[in-house]
Amino acid sequence: MTTSNLPGGDHDEAREGGSLRAVLEGAPFQADPHAVLRQLTDSGAAHRCEPDGAPPQLLVTGYEAARQVLTDPRVSKRSERAGLEPGWLMSGVRDEVGVDYMLTVDPPEHTRLRKLVARAFTPQKIDALRPRTKEIASRLADDVLAQETPELVDGFASRVPIAVICELLGVPLGDWDRFRWASEQIVSPVAGGDREEAYVWMSGYLAELIAGKRADPGQDLLSGLVTDTADDRLTDAEMVGMAFLLLIAGYETTANLIGAVLHGLARQPELLKALRADPGLVPTVVEEFLRLDGPVLTATERFATEDMQVGDVPVRRGDMLLVSLAAANRDPARFEEPDSFRPGRSAGHVAFGYGVHYCLGAPLARMEAEVAITTFVRRVEGLTLAVDEADLEWSPGLLMHGVRRLPVSAVLSGHPNDR
C-alpha cells in the first residue's frame, strides 16, 4: 500500500512502511474505519501493501474498482490458482485446517453448491419465517428491556439472529456458547489463536449433528439437505462445510447490523421518533445503515490469477485482493455527500457483496433486521447510551465491523398496544 496515502498522527508506523495492517486493525480504525478509508479513497481506487511473510495485498476502496474485482474472471477465491500455497487469509495467517464451502471456491463448484441451498433462501421462504421471528424478537425485547441497564448486543442484537439461524438449520440453541467461541476463532483468526482447535471441534460437532438428522430427519434446512436425493446432492464433507458457512455467515453479520441501527437510534432521538410514528420507514432506514455502517468491512480474500490493472494500480499474479465494501459504500464518486444519512438513496450499495458470491442470506438478514427494529421501537420512547461514546468497544479485525456491547438507558412506551 502506498503508505504516504495514510492519515498522519497516530499512523506513523504505517507511513514508515512498517505495518499498515497495524493501522487497519488498531483501535482507532475499529472505532471509526471510515476516517482512515476515506483518506485512502480520496487518493486512489486501490492501494498496495506488502506485509511480511504473506502475499502482497491490494486494498480496493473505489466503488467501480470494487465491482470490477468482484466480477473479474481473472480473480479467484483459490490462492493456488494464483501460484501461491493454498489457504492464505487476509489476516496474513495461512489456513491449513479449514473446510471448503461455497465462499472459498470458484464456479463451477460454487454454482453447484449455491444452487443446492438457494431454494431455502428465496424471498417467499424467508417471509414464511417472519411470524416466528416476531415472536422471538418480542420475547427477547421484553426480557432485555426489563433490565435496569439493558445491554442491547448480548441481550437482543445477537440473540435474534442466533435464535433464528439455529431454528432454520435445526441446531440446538443450548450449544450456542461453544459455537460462538469457535466461530470467533475462525472469523477473526490471529496468529497463535485456537483456530485449529475450533475447527476440529466445530467439524466434529456438525458431523455428529448431520448424522443425527440422517437417522431422524426433522423439518429444518439441514434435514432437507441430508434427505435430498438429487444426483448432485452434497457429500457428507460438503454438508459440514455448508452448515458451517451458514452458521458463521448468518449471525455476527446480522447482529452487527441490528447493533448499528440500535446505536444510531441512541444517537438520533429524531430517528427513533420517526420510526415509532411510521414503522413503514424501517426497511429504508435499515438499507441506509447497511450502506453507511455495513457489518462486513472487507470482502473475503481473492487472488489475481494473471497480471492485471485495478484503477490505475498494476496488479501482479499472486497478489491478494481485498475489497473494502465499507469504503466503496462511501465513495463520493458514487454517493453524493456519502457520509450523510439519507434513507432512500442506498440502492446499489455493496454491503452484501457483488457478483457470484453476493450474499445468499440477504433476504433473511433484511427480514430479521426489519422485524427486530420494528419490535424494539414499538416498546421504547427514549434511548440513550449509558456509557460514553468513546468507551464503546468494537469488534477487531479487517473483516467485520460492529459494536460489542451497547449498554443503554431506555424510556419504555406507556402505551398498552406497544407490546
Chain residues in the site for ligand HEM (CB under 6 A): 102-103, 114, 165, 245-246, 249-250, 253-254, 257, 294-296, 299-300, 325, 351-353, 357, 359-361, 364-365
Task: Answer yes or no: are the C-beta atoms of 407 and 387 closer than 8 Å.
Answer: yes
Task: Answer yes or no: are the C-beta atoms of 80 and 106 closer than 8 Å.
Answer: no
**In the complex, minimum distance from the CB of residue 234 to ligand HEM, in angstroms, rounded to a whole number:** 13
What angle in degrees, to the nearest 10, is found between the helix axes of 269-277 and 282-293? 150
254 vs 375 by CB, closer to ligand HEM: 254
Q: Nearest to ligand HEM by Cβ — which residue?
A: 361
Q: What nine digits make up the cell of 81? A: 490458482
246 vs 320 by CB, closer to ligand HEM: 246
130 backbone φψ class: left, alpha, beta (φ>0; ψ -120 to 50): alpha
Residue 320 main-chain phi, psi, to 5 deg: -90, 130
- Residues composing the chain: 419
Residue 403 main-chain phi, psi, to 5 deg: -80, 140
Residue 125 main-chain phi, psi, to 5 deg: -60, -40
141 vs 399 by CB, closer to ligand HEM: 399
Cα-Cα-Cα-Cα torsion 127, 144, 265, 261, nearest 10 degrees, comes to -40
159 vs 357 by CB, closer to ligand HEM: 357
366 vs 379 by CB, closer to ligand HEM: 366
| HEC secondary structure over 309-360 | EECCEEECCCCEEEEEHHHHCCCCCCCCCCCCCCCCCCCCCCCCCCHHHCCC
Q: SS3 helix, strand, coil % of the chain, rounded to 5?
A: 55, 10, 35
DSSP 8-state code for residue 157: I
**In the complex, minimum distance from the CB of residue 58 to ligand HEM, in angstroms, rounded to a whole number:** 15
150 vs 250 by CB, closer to ligand HEM: 250
**In the complex, minimum distance from the CB of residue 9 to ligand HEM, in angstroms, rounded to a whole number:** 30
**In the complex, minimum distance from the CB of residue 413 to ligand HEM, in angstroms, rounded to a whole number:** 27
The residue whose grid cell reads 433464528 is 164
22 vs 237 by CB, closer to ligand HEM: 237
144 vs 165 by CB, closer to ligand HEM: 165
Task: Answer yes or no: are the C-beta atoms of 140 and 382 closer than 8 Å.
Answer: no
Task: Answer yes or no: are the C-beta atoms of 349 and 329 closer than 8 Å.
Answer: yes
Count of CB atoms within 10 A of residue 56's CB?
A: 15
**In the complex, minimum distance from the CB of residue 142 to ligand HEM, in angstroms, rounded to a whole number:** 24
128 vs 387 by CB, closer to ligand HEM: 128
DSSP string over 277-319: H-GGGHHHHHHHHHHHH-SBSBPPPEEESS-EEETTEEE-TT-
**In the complex, minimum distance from the CB of residue 245 to ligand HEM, in angstroms, rounded to a whole number:** 5
**In the complex, minimum distance from the CB of residue 140 to ligand HEM, in angstroms, rounded to a whole number:** 17
Sheet with strand 46-49: strands edge to edge: 46-49, 57-60, 320-323, 302-304, 75-76
**In the complex, minimum distance from the CB of residue 342 to ligand HEM, in angstroms, rounded to a whole number:** 20
**In the complex, minimum distance from the CB of residue 138 to ligand HEM, in angstroms, rounded to a whole number:** 20
150 vs 295 by CB, closer to ligand HEM: 295
Task: Answer yes or no: are the C-beta atoms of 317 and 307 closer than 8 Å.
Answer: yes
**In the complex, minimum distance from the CB of residue 56 to ligand HEM, in angstroms, rounded to a whole number:** 19
112 vs 214 by CB, closer to ligand HEM: 112
**In the complex, minimum distance from the CB of residue 105 to ligand HEM, in angstroms, rounded to a whole number:** 8
Residue 136 main-chain phi, psi, to 5 deg: -65, -45
